[in-house]
């Protein structure tokens, strides 16, 4: 009996340690309240975007992949966020934008997914080297989908957000 209890305790301890380590490893390396790192990307259309130009806006950093089933299933919710919040007036901000960052290796597949999922905003980027991309490393992205909400002061509001939590935060900030 005592041996069974010890075995169960050891197994539970190993499981808990694995879960904590996994959660720590996969957590983005930016936290709520932190200033975002200097971020300049080349967009799908070839133009360069410096996120500093969006100071004063809410920005959703949408890390996803065309090959990622959960990402593709989340696309309608991301599209709804854009449609419902892009043109709203906010108490403390000048708008809401989405920058979609493709964790990709196949540009053709990425372009096809943007069209198929109707991700109609203008701001899409990828470097075609998966999780080794500069953006993935800059923000500590090791799994997708990941949503990072940035405030108008260019500080992280939260990391690893859900579409529902982003909706809740933005709804609270809408000018009445």
Give residue limits of the domains in the chain. 29-173
pLDDT tens, 33-45? Answer: 789 999 999 999 9
What pLDDT is recorded for position 129? 92
- Domain 29-173 matching CATH 3.40.50.80: the answer reads no
Cβ atoms of 99 and 43 closer than 8 Å: no
| H or E element at residue 127 | none
DSSP 67: T
The Cα-based distances of 110 to 45, 50, 65, 115, 124 in angstroms read 13, 22, 7, 9, 10
- Would you call 42 helix, strand, or coil by DSSP? strand
17-26, 82-91, 98-107, 125-134: which range is least confident on average?
A: 17-26
pLDDT tens, 126-154? Answer: 999 999 999 999 989 889 999 999 999 99
């Amino acid at each position: 009996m005592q041996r069974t209890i010890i075995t169960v305790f050891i197994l539970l301890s190993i499981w808990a340690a694995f879960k904590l380590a996994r959660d720590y490893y996969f957590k983005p390396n930016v936290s709520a309240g932190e200033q975002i790192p200097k971020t300049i990307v080349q967009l799908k259309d070839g133009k360069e975007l410096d996120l500093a130009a969006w100071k004063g806006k809410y920005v959703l950093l949408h890390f996803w992949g065309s090959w990622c089933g959960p990402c593709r299933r989340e696309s309608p919710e991301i599209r709804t966020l854009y449609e419902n919040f892009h043109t709203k007036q906010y108490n403390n901000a000048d708008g809401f934008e989405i920058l979609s960052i493709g964790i990709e290796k196949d540009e053709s597949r990425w372009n096809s997914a943007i069209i198929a999922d109707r991700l109609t905003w203008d701001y899409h980027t990828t470097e075609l080297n998966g999780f080794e991309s500069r953006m993935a490393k800059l923000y500590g992205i090791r799994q997708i989908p990941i949503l990072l909400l940035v405030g108008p002061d260019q500080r992280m509001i939260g990391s690893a957000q859900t579409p529902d939590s982003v909706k809740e935060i933005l709804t609270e900030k809408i000018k009445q």
